[in-house]
Amino acid sequence: MLAAGAKNFARGGAVSFATVLIMTVTLIIIGLLIFLSATLSFTLDSIRDKVDVNVYFVTTASDSAMHSFRERIAQLPEVERVTFTSRDEALAAFRARHANDQLTLQALDELGDNPLGASLAIKAKDPSQYEGIVKFLSDEPALSSSGTSIVDRVNYYQNKTVIDRLTGAIRATERAGIAVVILFAIASIIIAFATVRLAIHTAREEIGVMRLVGASNAYIRGPFIVTGVIAGGVAALLTLILLYPVTWYAGRLLSEWLGGFDFFAYYLSEFASIFFILLGTGVVLGAAASYLAVRRYLQV
């Protein structure tokens, strides 16, 4: 059966070439979807990492009260990390941002005291969890020893639009990615089905002879399924070979524009996963298309 399938593929000539070509194009599209998904994930993770909720303390807040509140926030299950910025660090960062604005620095020096308060930058594990964190800040306010609030303001509502858009983008991307993969999988089977059907059509007389001599359905289908598997495997290998120079060039050209995401580095680091995905997809598509073509059109 294996030998017969390999023989069919070898003598298929133009039909085998067309089958491999169509499946290669299909697998390239699937490969590009893999890289698109990785790019979107990298971009969304970068944006997600920059979004947080900041709690600004009044300038009279004591260190013990602020650190106690920080520990309470850090214990929340929704919180990934909490970064504390002291008044001195805030002042140094402000001076660095306005290093070229002498008028602002001069006005700051004339105040004679640091007007900036300490702050907490709260990073949630997921953007959708910021609402719960803000609710905690409202329900469990930070208080001084005298019972007054030590929080000056919380910037959640200024960032809420960005957070909501990010959450929506993540969900929409996940749904769109699944839909696109399903769509191309169906298209791939249909295209491969048509080309394999052509290959089977050229062997219709041979199939008729095998049926006359009593060959079983499995014996007749087997070589065609093996041929489809071989075509899918060859297409996967060609796709991997073509992706190497494409990702190398795209990595050099687009890395800076994509915020540091390197297609070639991703291709090398995830080669094993990409290899098995493309090979498995090619083999399954080839086998499924061959099986359906024999069963549906030759009525074996």
Per-residue model confidence as pLDDT tens digits over 250-279: 888 877 777 778 888 899 999 999 999 999
| 145 and 175 assigned to the same domain | no
* CA gap 149, 142 in Å, rounded: 6
The pLDDT score that the predictor gives to residue 276 is: 93
| 36 and 68 assigned to the same domain | no
Residue 53: inside a domain: no
The pLDDT score that the predictor gives to residue 62 is: 87
Strand order through the sheet with 53-57: 79-85, 119-124, 53-57, 151-154
Task: Go through 133-144 and write b for each residue having 16 or more CB atoms within 10 A of its CB, e for each that does not.
Answer: bbebbeeeebee
- Residue 131, domain CATH: 3.30.70.3040
* CA gap 202, 198 in Å, rounded: 7
Residue 240: inside a domain: yes
Alpha-helical (H) ranges within the chain are 2-11, 14-50, 63-74, 87-97, 102-111, 130-139, 156-202, 204-212, 217-254, 263-269, 271-297
The pLDDT score that the predictor gives to residue 59 is: 84
For the full predicted model, state whether its pTM sits above 0.85.
Answer: no
- Do residues 195 and 297 touch, judged by C-beta distance below 8 A? no
Residue entry with tokens 């080309």: 195
State which residues form the domain around 248.
Answer: 2-47+165-297
Render each residue's pLDDT in the chain as its tens digit; 300 residues. Answer: 566 556 655 555 666 677 788 788 888 888 888 888 788 778 777 776 777 788 889 888 888 888 888 988 898 888 989 989 988 888 888 888 888 878 877 877 777 778 888 899 898 888 778 888 888 888 877 777 677 888 888 887 666 676 667 667 767 876 777 777 677 767 766 766 776 677 666 666 666 777 777 766 667 677 777 877 888 888 899 999 999 999 998 888 877 777 778 888 899 999 999 999 999 988 888 887 777 777 655 554
Q: Backbone phi, then psi, for 56, in 5-degree steps?
A: -105, 125
The residue out of 86, 115, 149 marking a domain boundary is 149
The pLDDT score that the predictor gives to residue 237 is: 92
| 121 and 173 assigned to the same domain | no
Q: How many domains is the chain built from?
A: 2
- Do residues 37 and 181 touch, judged by C-beta distance below 8 A? no
